[in-house]
Amino acid sequence: MNNFLWALKFLTIIPIDRDDRIRPKDFGWVVFWFPVVGFCIGIFLSIAYLSLYFFFPNLIADALIILIYIAITGALHLDGLADTCDGIWGGWDKEKRLKIMKDSRIGVFGAIGLICMLGLKYIGLLSIGEIDAIKYSPFSDSVKCVSCFASPVLVTKCTVLILMPVVGRWAQVCAAGLTKYARSKSGTGSFILEGTTLKRIIYTSIIPLFLFWYFYNVSGFIIFAIIIIFTLIWIWYIKKKIGGMTGDTLGATNEVAELLYLLSLYLVR
């Protein structure tokens, strides 16, 4: 359980180890728990959204759930997204890009990246209606059981909130296992990149694949395939710019994958 608890501590602000006593035996296997932590975050978000849905209109409820999501993760991945945008598009070579990404100040590209990402996520979540794939999935029986007091839109949004954090954390593992650490000195993401192998990516993919099948049936594999394809393109692009991944680009990968998931729902209906 140390691996799971350490991953939970690393990816959220939950104060489970104030004295920093939890140490995993193998950091390489910590990544297996990343999607599990994402699933726990998703369950929390869906429960929180149920409360918000009955007290606020959709416009406000969707905005508040995004704020709650940011709060529970400590804006860790958004910070990485901002630094990545500043570095990738603000520098003219690898060294300059990595140097900019180390700067704690946010630049124009970082601000634009945050605005676009949060805006698209909000609009994507707000625009979600009933997704036909749910009706033919193993999850469909559960939907029928709650249909008397929960609308299809509410069920769909709760499903999205459960799966979105799973997708993001899986994408981080995928990016870590398919490239190397871009910096010469160790950093926040170095232990993830150095310990993640193709074998561990395969093991880590089991839980997301099962969840997508459970909620969306065959359509879930199509959605997941879309996410994989565009995530691989993103990884290739970052690798081309700085020669590998860093902790910041892993955070950016998380945000990009979550947005890809939201957008792919409109392609597979």
36, 12 contact by CB (below 8 A): no
DSSP line for 28-71? GGGGGGHHHHHHHHHHHHHHHHHHHHHHS-HHHHHHHHHHHHHH
What's the pLDDT score for residue 150? Answer: 62
pTM of the model: 0.90
Render pLDDT for 43-96 as a digit per residue (tens, 0 to 9): 999 999 999 988 999 899 999 999 999 999 999 999 999 999 999 998 888 889
Q: Which residue has the tokens 């945050």?
A: 114
What's the pLDDT score for residue 133? Answer: 45
Burial (CB < 10 A; 0-12, 13-18, 19+), residue 112, is middle
* Domain residue extents for the chain: 2-267
For residue 152, give every residue at least 6 positions away whose Cβ sits within 8 Å of its Cβ, in sequence order, or none.
129, 130, 134, 143
What's the pLDDT score for residue 87? Answer: 92
Residue ranges, the chain, pLDDT below 50:
133
Maximum C-alpha span of the chain:
58
What's the pLDDT score for residue 121? Answer: 95
